[in-house]
Chains A and B, each alone.
Chain A
Amino acid sequence: MTILDWLKHAFDYMGGAQDDPPPGFGIRVEHWWFWAIWWAALALAIYVFSGQSSKFIYIDF
């Protein structure tokens, strides 16, 4: 399995498209903290990049 295949498998697993993790993948989606981190990370990404849709003509640096 190439690194890319492994990563794809890992993301598929985390996204729910695969039932089993790739070999050596230590995180189990049954853990509550996985979901807490997962959704918090997604919320953070949305938060950080949502400013792109604002009227950011200029900024005081």
Chain B
Amino acid sequence: MSSKVGILDAPKRIFILALAGIVLMLAALDREVARLSRNTIPRWTMGRVRQSRGAQAIALGNSLIGVGFNEPSFDAGMGVGKLPGSINLAMGGSSGVEQLLMLRYALEQGLRPRTVIFGFFDFTLTHPLEYSTRDLIGNRAMLYYMEPEYARRYYHLSPHDRAEFEIMRHFELFEDRGTVWERVELFRRALAQQGMPPEKSNSMGRSVDFAMLEYPSASEFIAECGRARRNPLIPSIREIALQAEAAGANVYFVEMPMPPDHVHLFYDQPQWSAGYRAHLREMLGGIGAQYVDASHWMPDENSFEDPLHLTYAGAQEFSRHLGEYLRRLPSGETKN
């Protein structure tokens, strides 16, 4: 009898010890992911905020303004001289919620900008945000750790994803899994490139991927203009405007410069120019923000390095122009 108990106990003991060993190794992995993700773009940007408390202008948005807003050129255009200038808090692949969180972080850290610039393209300002936890990777991972309860008011998760989110946000292993996946993805792309013609890519990724973010045809874009004209501003965008204004800033929503093909195919359609754009102007005006149409400012296609993003030289030119433009606006002098 006692030998039978001993045989039965052995696998149980092995199982429990093995389980404890797995937990220990996963805990070590969790710490390693935390170490690898110390300098992710949101955390690096937060670090910049802490070192730029005197900034007079904040730029927010996704990669279009992340690449397209050049701080020194904008400051030169604004004529700030030796005063503290602007800080670019835009993050690639981010939505209005992450940008709202970054603005709130900046304000909480004591920044009191006179100017807040929000760069956008297409339907960013009105497209409802519906996420699943699968989407919360890369820069969106900040939704796990930066005011997560507050941020949840501004995007939708299914009940299943809400439960998953609540579990995942307690482990760096899950929160910043994109940090590991990025490395694997880079390795996979490097392998896929062996013996192949080089793919065109830039600091943000492969050019061909950004073409996928454009509408496939003018007719589909026009149809979306019709639908989007009935949409209000998404709540996170509205909050960006309201909270920036409450902090004493003039808020400008900038329709970002786009390549001539995009402008001609999409933005020159009356459904955009006289329809959706007018709808945006009206809604933004209603909450005290101003609309800047910069979509046609860069008519040379050589100013763009892919279907969406400006080159470095293009960003310098655009940013200087934007600074000069805002300096000439009378409302830029009305606050603070």
Contacts and interface: CB of A to CB of B under 8 A. Distances in A.
Interface of A: 30-37, 39-40, 43-44, 47-52, 54-61
A59 B138 contact: yes
A39 B26 CA distance: 10
Given A44-B29, A58-B93, A36 B137 contact: no
Q: Label chain A's interface by main secondary structure.
A: helix
A39 to B, nearest CB: 5
Given A37-B21, A43-B22, A60-B41, 6 more contacts: A36-B20, A36-B25, A40-B22, A51-B177, A51-B184, A54-B181
Contacts, number: 96
A61 B22 contact: no
19 contacts: A30-B14, A32-B17, A32-B21, A35-B18, A36-B19, A37-B21, A40-B22, A43-B26, A44-B29, A51-B137, A51-B181, A54-B181, A58-B205, A59-B185, A60-B91, A60-B139, A60-B204, A61-B182, A61-B203
B135 A57 contact: no
B307 to A, nearest CB: 12
B138 A60 contact: yes
Interface residues of B, number: 43
A58 B182 CA distance: 9
A30 B10 CA distance: 9
B103 interface: no
Q: Label chain B's interface by main secondary structure.
A: helix
Contact of A60 (B92, B206, B213): B92
Nearest to B183: A48
A37 B209 CA distance: 38
A43 B20 CA distance: 14
A31 B14 CA distance: 7
Nearest to B173: A47
B180 interface: yes
B335 interface: no
Nearest to B202: A61
Q: Which of A31, A37, A59 has most B Cβ within 10 Å?
A: A59
Interface string B88-108: 000111000000000000000
